[in-house]
Amino acid sequence: MNQKYVLKHNEDIEKLVSKKNSVGNKYYAIYYDICNEAKIAVSVSKKCGSSPARNYEKRVVREIVRTNLFDKLTGLQCLIVIKSNATELSFDLKKKEIEQLFNKILNKINK
């Protein structure tokens, strides 16, 4: 994913969380807001294991978003929080769960 699409600044992430627009399941929580361009941030719970395991989970989620979902995200800022249960899932199940959450977001926005 290109660096211009990454949400980096702590203030931006705090604003995103404070607006309380979110969807979630037992594996992921996604905080979102409507904006001009798509930006993504990924956060992993410390309960997910060692730092290599957490970094792996972040890379997997970024790849799922980059390959399958980035076209749908125009005009959204998203913070994806990975919960500790997500480490048990296979890649295909992770992809399915994340796609379902983004479809919920798009349905809420388009209402």
What tens digit of pLDDT does each residue of 79-99 get?
999 998 888 899 999 999 999
3-110: CATH topology: Ribosomal Protein S5; domain 2 (3.30.230)
Q: What's the whole-number mean pLDDT along residues 35-61?
A: 89
Residue 29, classed as helix, strand or coil, is strand
Residue 67, classed as helix, strand or coil, is helix
Nearest residue to 7 via CA among 70, 16, 22: 16
pLDDT tens digits along 59-82:
999 999 888 877 777 788 889 999
Which stretches of 1-94 are assigned E, i.e. beta strand? 22-24, 28-34, 39-44, 76-82
Spatial strand order in the sheet of 39-44: 22-24, 28-34, 76-82, 39-44
Would you say residue 43 has pLDDT above 80? yes
| Comparison of pLDDT for 4 and 20, the residue scoring more | 20
Residue 40, classed as helix, strand or coil, is strand
Q: What's the whole-number mean pLDDT along residues 16-27?
A: 89
Q: Where are the domains of the chain?
A: 3-110
